[in-house]
Structure formats: structure tokens, C-alpha cells
Amino acid sequence: SQELEQSPQSLIVQEGKNLTINCTSSKTLYGLYWYKQKYGEGLIFLMMLQKGGEEKSHEKITAKLDEKKQQSSLHITASQPSHAGIYLCGAVLAFSGYSTLTFGKGTMLLVSP
């Protein structure tokens, strides 16, 4: 099974609606990063969460980290077509060796007018 599960795999919402994407880890989280990717392009950094209970917001996007549940959520309020893309969570799962991120498979978001 995968170390980092994202749900849902894909999502279609009507413009103006709210939505939530979840990222659940099977291991202890030492840090959680959210990225956005447009199809076939590089990753754009959104937010980083490190402490349990931490919550960060940028414009209409809010991310929370529930360390005990080993889970993070990304909430978009009043979605717009510009929010469409693939949202990836990446987690720091261990501190042995050269730590890099373990990624989820991503959630594809489409926003319909």
C-alpha cells in the first residue's frame, strides 16, 4: 500500500463552490507540503505545515495539519477556474539519510463555469 494517500483522486466542482482535498499518511509526518501542478508542468509551492494543529491560509486556500491523525487537508473556498489543476501533497516521513519528500498520487481538480 502507498505511504501517502490522497482523496479524492479527481474532483469536479462548480465555480463558487467550496472543496476539500485530503492527504493521509501511513507513517509519522515530520512536515507536509502542498503543491499545485498544471498538466505537464512543474510543481508550484503552495504551503508548508510542520506542527500539529498548524493552519495556513493564502488567498482562498487553507491547509491544516492534524499530526495525531497523520493527515492534512487543503480547503478551497469559492472555487474559481484558476484553481483547476493537480494538487499534490508531499510529506517528510523520515529523517534518516537524505530526506526528501514522499508524494501522493495527486488530486485533479476541474472547476466548471
Binding region for other proteins (CB under 8 A): 2, 4, 30-31, 33, 35, 40-45, 48, 88, 90, 92, 95-106
Side-chain-side CA neighbours of 79 within 13 Å: the count stands at: 22
Nearest CB to other proteins, comparing residues 40 and 113: 40
Q: What is the SS3 assignment for 80?
A: coil
Tell which residue, 65, 59, 57, has the closest CA to residue 33.
Answer: 65
Smallest distance from other proteins to CB 59, Å: 20
Nearest CB to other proteins, comparing residues 79 and 85: 85
Nearest CB to other proteins, comparing residues 42 and 113: 42
Quick check: 86 and 42 in contact, CB under 8 A?
no
